[in-house]
Structure 1
Amino acid sequence: MFQTHIWRQMAGALGAIGLLGGLHFAQAQTPDPKATAIFAGGCFWCIEKDFEKLPGVLEAESGYTAGKTTQPTYAQVGTGRTGHTEAVRLTYDPSVVSYAQLVEYFWRHIDPTVKDRQFCDAGSQYRSGIYWQSEAEKKVVEASLDRLKKSGRFSVIHTEIAPASPFWLAEDYHQDYYKKNPLRYNYYRQSCGRDARVQQLWGTP
């Protein structure tokens, strides 16, 4: 009886270890519930708002990317000499929205037919772009671009497709500008003709 009791204790302990090991393995295989993506679509105030309406997007941060200087300021980027473009870095939940869906959504909120500008804003700092962060993302973007070209919708597409480079956060007053200054933001967006041009290009969402 005593030996049987000892063996049962040992078996229970080993079973518990196995169970914990299984749980540890399952946790290690669980994908990260958050991912990031970087897009440039002209004025970052506007593209930030557009993306934050999309279910699955947890946050959109305004910033600068695809340039050659470190820690650029808004004033520096505005000269067009740093090489940066205004962009947004998204944090999203891949279980709700996929990277492919983000790319398709992005196309339909910009004008891909113009070079070094978006809507009323001109200059290389307002060029549109998709900046992939992995080979998997690159394949998604290239496939999406290929479909768009084959659709015959546009005769030329100027949106930059490139690997991601350092993303520098814009100054605090640019973050969530559309929430902090709704009157100024809405006046700017309407006067810039962004939504009218998007509808002309893509139709009603």
Structure 2
Amino acid sequence: MSEKQLKKATFAGGCFWCMVKPFDEQPGIHEVVSGYTGGHTKNPTYKEVCSETTGHLEAVEITYDPEIFPYEKLLTLFWQQIDPTDPGGQFHDRGESYTTAIFVHDDDQRQAAEKSKHELEESGKFSKPIVTPIREASVFYPAETYHQDYYKKNPFHYKMYQKGSGRKDFIERYWGVNSE
């Protein structure tokens, strides 16, 4: 397959460790990279991003084949990983770097993201407003190697973190999805 057929999608959903696994082994997903985007610091480190001085959010950049796994399906999966009503972070992770966002790479993605967000707002699933913004994609900086594929490298800690942070229970309660 030529690289021209592959596209990028970028989502911030709180801790990037928990945002890799749901996308990672889906058909048509070629790569999921943990990293930082949306801020002003070039080549930020994890420590810098956690200091809340860079403007960056923890995010994942997904390389996918839209013929096999359409962007709309990525959006559905994204919403099912987050609390889209929380403006201060995700679950036990607080601060700007843990807030949610959909970073769009083109007009088609923007239209799909806006439609998806509107449908979620209209669904009545949440009593509070959907606060996840739709932003223009900017430079994506891959995170340090030890953050990549964290759920594979540290499965026990990953499961403990997912449960302890409150993410697992939230996903199961609001989305009816087993997040194992």
**Aligned with residue 93 of structure 2, among 114, 121, 142:** 121
Structure 2 residues without counterparts, runs of 5 or longer: none
Kindly indicate whether the alpha-carbon contact (under 8 Å) linking 2:22 and 2:77 is maintained by their aligned counterparts in 1: no
CA distance in structure 1 between the aligned counterparts of 2:168 and 2:25, rounded to whole angstroms: 15
Does residue 1:177 correspond to 2:150, yes or no? yes
Match of 1:197 in 2: 170
Change (3 A) 1:62 1:204: closer
Change (3 A) 1:31 1:45: closer
The percent of aligned pairs where both chains have the same amino acid is 44
**Secondary structure in 2 aligned to 1:89?**
strand
Structure 1 residues without counterparts, runs of 5 or longer: 1-29
Match of 2:136 in 1: 163
Change (3 A) 1:176 1:191: same
Larger mean CA deviation between 130-139 and 195-204 belongs to: 195-204
**Secondary structure in 2 aligned to 1:187?**
helix
Kindly indicate whether the alpha-carbon contact (under 8 Å) linking 1:67 and 1:82 is maintained by their aligned counterparts in 2: yes
Q: Deviating runs (4+, > 4 A) in structure 1? A: none
Does residue 1:74 correspond to 2:49, yes or no? no
Q: Which has the higher contact order (CA 8 A, sep 6+)?
A: 2
CA distance in structure 1 between the aligned counterparts of 2:98 and 2:54, rounded to whole angstroms: 12
Q: TM-score when scaled to structure 2? A: 0.92
Deviation string 1:150-186 (CA, Å, 9 cap, x unpaired) is 1122231111211101100101111111111112212
Kindly indicate whether the alpha-carbon contact (under 8 Å) linking 1:116 and 1:128 is maintained by their aligned counterparts in 2: no
Q: CA RMSD in A?
A: 1.5
Deviation string 1:70-113 (CA, Å, 9 cap, x unpaired) is 11100000011111110000011112110111011110111101
Kindly indicate whether the alpha-carbon contact (under 8 Å) linking 2:46 and 2:144 is maintained by their aligned counterparts in 1: yes
Match of 1:101 in 2: 73
CA distance in structure 1 between the aligned counterparts of 2:176 and 2:160, rounded to whole angstroms: 22
Match of 2:59 in 1: 87
Deviation at 1:203, TM superposition (A): 2.1
Code of the residue aligned with 2:96 in structure 1: it is S
Code of the residue aligned with 1:162 in structure 2: it is R
CA distance in structure 1 between the aligned counterparts of 2:31 and 2:62, rounded to whole angstroms: 6
**Aligned with residue 186 of structure 1, among 144, 147, 159:** 159
The structure richer in helix per residue is: 1
Q: TM-score when scaled to structure 1? A: 0.82
